[in-house]
Amino acid sequence: MIKYKFAGYTPNDEILAFYANYTPDCFITTSETEGLPISVVEAMDLGLPIVVTDVGGMRELVDGNGLLLPSNPTAEEVASAIVSIMDCNEDTRNEMKLNGKKIWSSRFDAVLNAKEFANYIADVCKDGTQKVVLITERYPFGGEQTFIETELREMLKRFDVSLICYNIDNSSGDKECQASINIDRVLKDQDGEIHNLEVIKNSDNWKTGHCVRYFFDYILDRNIKEERKSIWRTNKKRMIRFWESLKYYSKAEEFLKNTLLDVIDNCDLSRTVIYTYWHQPYTLAACLLKASGRNLKVITREHGFDLYDERVKKSIRQPFREMMDNYLESVIFACKIGKQYYLDRNHFGCNDEKYRVHYIGSRHYNDMLNVITNERNTKIIEGGDGQGTSQKPFKIVSCSALIPLKRVNLIIDALNVINKTRPSTNIEWIHFGDGELLQPMQTYACVKLGGQ
């Protein structure tokens, strides 16, 4: 019997509270591509055995604490991995739990990692860093909380911070409220004096017409000559790649002229670091600023969507990587394999001072939990007919956006295989996360697993 539930979007602290109260037996993800997912790291902190595909930095997470699937597994292989953990004796499962916690504490404690990273930023400027301009995709007005907040706390202990949220267009009242909550949480969660924090909302007013405005700049700008040559040399998808590159450039120029210049003009540039979270058009804006002669230090963090060429569906290419690399002080990676991919893709020589792995990690779940009643958590699992067995259920959790590259359908197919080959098995599965495939996955699960 299979019970299942698609929980949709759920705040991070509520997911962790659910884990703590519900005590799952296994965490699974079947992604097609990844950076180094925090959802898996959080599961390891709780001692959950993990089943993951061999993509991105996943193999850096597995060492006696679960199973590493092939990068493109069959449903039968996923089912076999689930059954292997299901059939483990108590001693083996306890060993997995201890190994997962050991890996987490040695590599993925976000607080320790953030302190180490803050020490690095402090030394980036020759006379010591005084200010960090942190440019983000959505935080604090949207996502990225689990990635950024711990680092922001540590930065504020050392530096003044100007936090620019790049991609917010006419934020709703809900987003403004969420931003206030996120920032208040950071400011209150300090045990001593902190430096100044300035939050700057950048309204993204970019439109396709801006490509026309910046077309001649794109053609004539000497700083991006290598970008144009690189596209021409590939002899593949040239027109699409030129178009995507022009869009990228026009977004960078808009951000540079409308937001970044105003922020930078108030800084002591010799002691200022621009840190972009992630490697996006706003990173190019900072590099163009540096190329104009400004004495700046620019660093960026890469993770997944901004790293792998295959994540850019139309052009199969991340723009401006060669050009930006000339002006970046360092490129920060979330995992070792991400660093190697970047170096191999761009044919850069290995320089451990410039190309650095700084793990992100998660905060210990005890620090994150809010009090949520057991009643709320136990009621969240439902589905299936719930008949025919009194066997203690094997509890599986997964957490990801419901988008094609996460391949959640593979989990459904694997559970269907188990249901057919071991019909007396009692399994409960819950998936946390929203996305374009929420309704299709619910329908698919209903067809394959019944219920609902």
- The confidence score (pLDDT) of residue 450 equals 85
CA distances to 223, 348, 351, 403 from 355, rounded to whole Å, are 22, 10, 6, 30
CATH architecture of 110-357: 3-Layer(aba) Sandwich (3.40)
The pLDDT tens digits for 265-281 are 888 999 999 999 999 99
The pLDDT tens digits for 313-345 are 899 999 999 999 999 999 999 999 999 999 998
- The confidence score (pLDDT) of residue 432 equals 96
CATH architecture of 2-109+391-449: 3-Layer(aba) Sandwich (3.40)
Tell me what the pLDDT averaged over the chain comes to: 90
Residues 82-94 have a mean pLDDT of 94
Determine the Cα–Cα distance for residues 48 and 19; give it in Å rounded to an integer. Answer: 9
**66 or 177, greater pLDDT:** 66
Overall size of the chain counted in residues = 452
Determine the Cα–Cα distance for residues 375 and 149; give it in Å rounded to an integer. Answer: 30
Assess contact for 413 and 30: CB atoms under 8 A: no
Judged against a pLDDT cut of 60, whether residue 379 lies above it is answered with no
- The confidence score (pLDDT) of residue 352 equals 79
**136 or 11, greater pLDDT:** 136
Q: Where are the domains of the chain?
A: 2-109+391-449, 110-357
- The confidence score (pLDDT) of residue 389 equals 47
The pLDDT tens digits for 38-55 are 999 999 999 999 999 999
Query: Angle between the 408-421 and 438-449 helix axes, to the nearest 10 degrees?
Result: 10
Query: What ranges in 194-237 are assigned the alpha helix state H?
Result: 209-213, 215-220, 225-234
**235 or 160, greater pLDDT:** 160
Radius of gyration (C-alpha) of the chain in whole angstroms: 23
Name the pTM for this structure.
0.90
Give me the percent of the chain exceeding a pLDDT of 70: 93
- The confidence score (pLDDT) of residue 169 equals 67
Assess contact for 65 and 43: CB atoms under 8 A: no
Whether the domain at 2-109+391-449 and the domain at 110-357 fall into the same CATH topology: yes
Q: Which of 281, 311, 307, 285 is nearest to 296 (CA)?
A: 285
Give me the percent of the chain exceeding a pLDDT of 90: 73
Listed in sequence order, the residues at least 6 apart from 326 whose beta carbon sits closer than 8 Å to its beta carbon are 287
Judged against a pLDDT cut of 70, whether residue 136 lies above it is answered with yes
Handedness of CA 295, 162, 196, 154 (dihedral sign): negative
- Say which range, 94-103, 203-212, 302-311, has the weakest mean pLDDT: 203-212
